[in-house]
Amino acid sequence: MRPGSFLGQHILNSPLIRLLLQRLGISFIVLIGVSMLIFVIARVIPGDPARIALGPNAAPEQVASLRAAMHLDDPIVVQYGFFVLDVTRGDLGKSLYTNRPVTVDIVQFLPATLELVFAAGIIMVGLGLPLGILAARYHGRWPDNAVRIFALLTVSAPSFVWAVILMLLFAFYLPLFPIAGRISDIYEIDRVTGFMTIDTLIAGNLVAFQDAFSHLVLPAVALSLSGIGQAARLTRANMVETYEKPFIEMAQAYGFFPSRIARIYVFKPSLIPSLTIIGLDFAAMLGNAFLVEAVFAWPGLSRYGVAVILRKDLNAIMGTVLVIAITFLIVNILVDLLIAFLNPRIRYSTRVDA
Amino acid sequence: MIRTLRIVGQNPLSLLGLILVALVVLAAALAPWISPFPSHNGAVVDFVYANQGPTARNWMGTDLVGRDILSRILYAYQISLFLSLVVLAIAPPVGTLVGLLAGYMGGWVETILMRIVDVFLSIPPLVLAIAMMGVLEPTLTNAMLAVTVMWWPWYARLVYSLARSEREEGYVLAAEVIGASTAHITFREILPNCLPAIITKMTLDMGFVIIIASSLSFLGLGVQPPTPDLGSMVAEGARYLPDSWWLTVFPGLAILVAVFGFNLLGDGLRDLLGVDE
């Protein structure tokens, strides 16, 4: 036996690596399906894509040559083949709206959306889980009811309504936060990561960081509100279930402090189902970013997405949706790995059953 | 039915939900008779009263061309409820059928169907609807189509996971042993046991479809003006914050009230029918 193969065998036996490979495989199949779905949606468009691209005044010869260049005269399966080939080469075509390659646009606008969604995700976990723990500990008493009503209220309005209400209250009536944008015009920040809060720190400009941070607060809170409610509800429901398990009764019989029982013995096993939902909420936030970015004039991918949709800019629409789907798939793989890591039954197992 | 209503009535929150839903449904149904200015449902202008805050004449103020906001909200409820009902008349049966087949039959049927469902679920729901509305003309019918296409996979996944656990139950085995057909087992044995979860989800989804539909029209991708829609009313008014706050706040609260009602009701139903979250 060669030593290298032993090492390879060992890595493959690690449940986390095997889970990762399995998830990557499934995601790849799903991604092919997503590309087909996007392609079908794009081809449903009424009218000639070449004509739309060139505008109503173009000569018929121009339209014909663009049709040939876009492979529009080929059978639909061949067209799909060319689409996939281009995508694998990192070529998403040219945007009619900005007149630049779609990939360049996406690289410019995606970080702003990711920054917003990640900030909202942190708020969601940071507030949602503690609220859920609180409700479960005081099950049936007033904190439980208060959290329940709060959770139901937050999921009962679209995020653009929360965005408008927050803006009205905390930007206009109480001018605590800026009204729109990512950073005040007076700051010139070199773009490194595209995350404004990180780039200002890299530039060492703490005043600009504070400015970027305060721009981020209201949009991120508006985006996270319904997620907070959902995370709190689920954590509560799972914890209430865990509280009825015999090992909790034992911990109580040993006289452990209720707060310790809540935090360690009940919360940890209840966290796993909550995490799955948090992954789904992340997907919802990628969609709701379209609404929040519109209200706060946040220069992200979603605002770009709406602009290109209103102009029927086909390449840009397909590219935007594809990138959002890939982002979502990556986040879901990360959530699955986190769940596997947190779950001792998977972490210490030699087989992957999940 | 009456017994169900009585039990719902014992929980104050569920009762509140029931009242809110009843109010919204009545408001929509009676809009032509109870709205102060029924003609403001369309392209009407009344510049004398344009852009005024709440007054005794216009309880929720008027929009930029003088139309009564309250009247327009009542008519917008009609559109929202109609759209939700259509979506929930199509998406749940389709999803349930797919989920039942995949969950009970297993094998390659399960693999193919659930991979298709995975594809739909791997694009954030609103993004899928936005992308579809991006290539379709923004009309009410197309909005219904887009929301239905994004909605059925959620029922497929719900029913699939239920059907898969029901498949292992003794009563299914018993039916198989006496030679019942696949159709009989899926529809007469397994489906009835999935119904409480499906009904609960449909009640909650009445509200969530309203949210998605208003989000589409907020982005200008749904019902077009002058037809009143809660989402487009908020979008139009958002440009005139903070001065003309009534343009956005009242339509926004109208969404909140309707969806909150359906959520409270669905939540009560969930406890009543013993459905897990």
| DSSP SS3 for A94 | strand
CB contact under 8 A, A309 and B245: no
Within 10 angstroms of residue A220's Cβ, the number of other Cβ atoms is: 25
* Percentage helix, strand, coil for chain A under 3-state DSSP, each rounded to 5: 75, 0, 25
What residues are paired with A101 via a beta bridge? A94
One-letter amino acid at A12 equals: L
CB contact under 8 A, A160 and B215: yes
Superfamily grouping for domain A97-346: MetI-like (1.10.3720.10)
Please check whether residue B82 touches A, CB under 8 A: no
Q: Which residues of A touch B126 (CB under 8 A)?
A: 284, 287-288, 290-291
What residues are paired with B62 via a beta bridge? B68
In angstroms, how far is the first alpha carbon of chain B from the final one?
23
Q: What is the pLDDT of residue A352?
A: 45
Does pLDDT of A354 surpass 50? Answer: no
- Nearest by CB to A34, from B122, B207, B245: name it: B122
Mean pLDDT value of segment B225-239: 90
Tens of pLDDT, residue by residue over A126-185, are 999 999 989 988 888 899 989 989 999 999 999 999 999 999 999 999 989 998 888 888
Which tokens is A94 given? 């040219």
Tens of pLDDT, residue by residue over B234-273, are 999 888 888 889 999 999 999 999 999 999 999 888 888 8
Please check whether residue B269 touches A, CB under 8 A: no
Does pLDDT of A18 surpass 50? Answer: yes
Min CA distance, A22 vs chain B (Å)?
14
Separation CA A94–CA B68 (nearest Å): 45
Residue of A nearest to B16 (CA): A149
Please check whether residue B131 touches A, CB under 8 A: yes
3-class DSSP string for chain B: CHHHHHHHHHCHHHHHHHHHHHHHHHHHHCHHHHCCCHHHHCCCCCHHHCCCCCCCCCCCCECCCCCEHHHHHHHHHHHHHHHHHHHHHHHHHHHHHHHHHHHHHCHHHHHHHHHHHHHHHCCCHHHHHHHHHHHCCCCHHHHHHHHHHHHHHHHHHHHHHHHHHHCCCHHHHHHHHCCCCHHHHHHHHHHHHHHHHHHHHHHHHHHHHHHHHHHHHHCCCCCCCCCCCHHHHHHHHHCCCCCCCHHHHHHHHHHHHHHHHHHHHHHHHHHHHCCCC
One-letter amino acid at A171 equals: A
Q: Which of B231, B236, B195, B213 has its CA nearest to residue B65?
A: B236
Which CA distances in Å does B193 have to A290, B159, B171, B172, B196? 38, 10, 11, 11, 7
- Nearest by CB to B219, from A26, A294, A312: name it: A294
Q: What is the pLDDT of residue A255?
A: 86
Q: What is the pLDDT of residue A61?
A: 83
Residue A326's H or E segment, with its range, is helix A314-342
Which tokens is A38 given? 């996007």
| DSSP SS3 for A257 | coil
Q: Which residues of A touch B264 (CB under 8 A)?
A: 152
CB contact under 8 A, A233 and B277: yes
Q: What is the pLDDT of residue B232?
A: 92
- Nearest by CB to B115, from A29, A149, A291: name it: A29
Residue A295's H or E segment, with its range, is helix A267-296
Q: What is the pLDDT of residue B123?
A: 85
Q: Which residues of A touch B238 (CB under 8 A)?
A: 160, 164, 295
Q: Which of A304, A327, A293, A307 has its CA nearest to residue A106?
A: A304
Min CA distance, B157 vs chain A (Å)?
13
> How confident is the prediction for chain A on average, in pLDDT?
85
Mean pLDDT value of segment B126-143: 87
Give A299's contacts (C-beta < 8 A, 6+ positions apart).
Answer: A109, A112, A181, A182, A293
The structural domains of chain A, with segments of one domain joined by +, span 97-346
Q: Which residues of B touch A45 (CB under 8 A)?
A: 135
B63 pLDDT band, cuts 50/70/90, is: confident
* Cβ pair A147, A235 in contact under 8 A: no
Q: Which residues of B touch A172 (CB under 8 A)?
A: 241-242
Q: What is the ipTM of this complex?
A: 0.90
Q: Which residues of A touch B138 (CB under 8 A)?
A: none
Residue of B nearest to A328 (CA): B122
Min CA distance, B225 vs chain A (Å)?
16
**Higher-confidence position of A203 and B90:** B90
Please check whether residue B233 touches A, CB under 8 A: no
Q: Which residues of A touch B255 (CB under 8 A)?
A: 157-158, 161
A1 pLDDT band, cuts 50/70/90, is: very low
CB contact under 8 A, B135 and A45: yes
- pTM, two decimals, is 0.88
Please check whether residue B21 touches A, CB under 8 A: no
Tens of pLDDT, residue by residue over A220-247, are 999 999 899 988 988 888 888 888 888 8
CB contact under 8 A, A309 and B130: yes
CB contact under 8 A, A309 and B127: no
CB contact under 8 A, B248 and A164: yes
Mean pLDDT value of segment B10-38: 90
The dihedral built from the CA positions of residue A188, A160, A217 and A330, taken in this order, carries a sign that is: negative
- Nearest by CB to B238, from A29, A36, A295: name it: A295
Q: What is the pLDDT of residue B9?
A: 67
Which of A44, A139, A159, A160 is the best residue to mutate to test the B interface, defined by the most B CB atoms within 10 Å of its own CB? A160
A47 pLDDT band, cuts 50/70/90, is: low
Q: What is the pLDDT of residue A12?
A: 64
Main-chain dihedrals φ then ψ at residue A185, nearest 5 degrees: -60, -25
Residue of A nearest to B261 (CA): A156
Main-chain dihedrals φ then ψ at residue B68, nearest 5 degrees: -75, 120
Structural domains of chain B in order of their starting residue, each with its CATH number = 2-272 (1.10.3720.10)
Main-chain dihedrals φ then ψ at residue A139, nearest 5 degrees: -50, 125
Q: Which residues of B touch A153 (CB under 8 A)?
A: 256, 260
Q: Which residues of A touch B124 (CB under 8 A)?
A: 283-284, 286-287, 324-325, 328
Please check whether residue B267 touches A, CB under 8 A: yes
* Cβ pair A276, A62 in contact under 8 A: no
| HSE of A217, CA atoms in CB hemisphere, 13 A | 14
Residue A293's H or E segment, with its range, is helix A267-296
Please check whether residue B218 touches A, CB under 8 A: yes
Main-chain dihedrals φ then ψ at residue A179, nearest 5 degrees: -80, -40
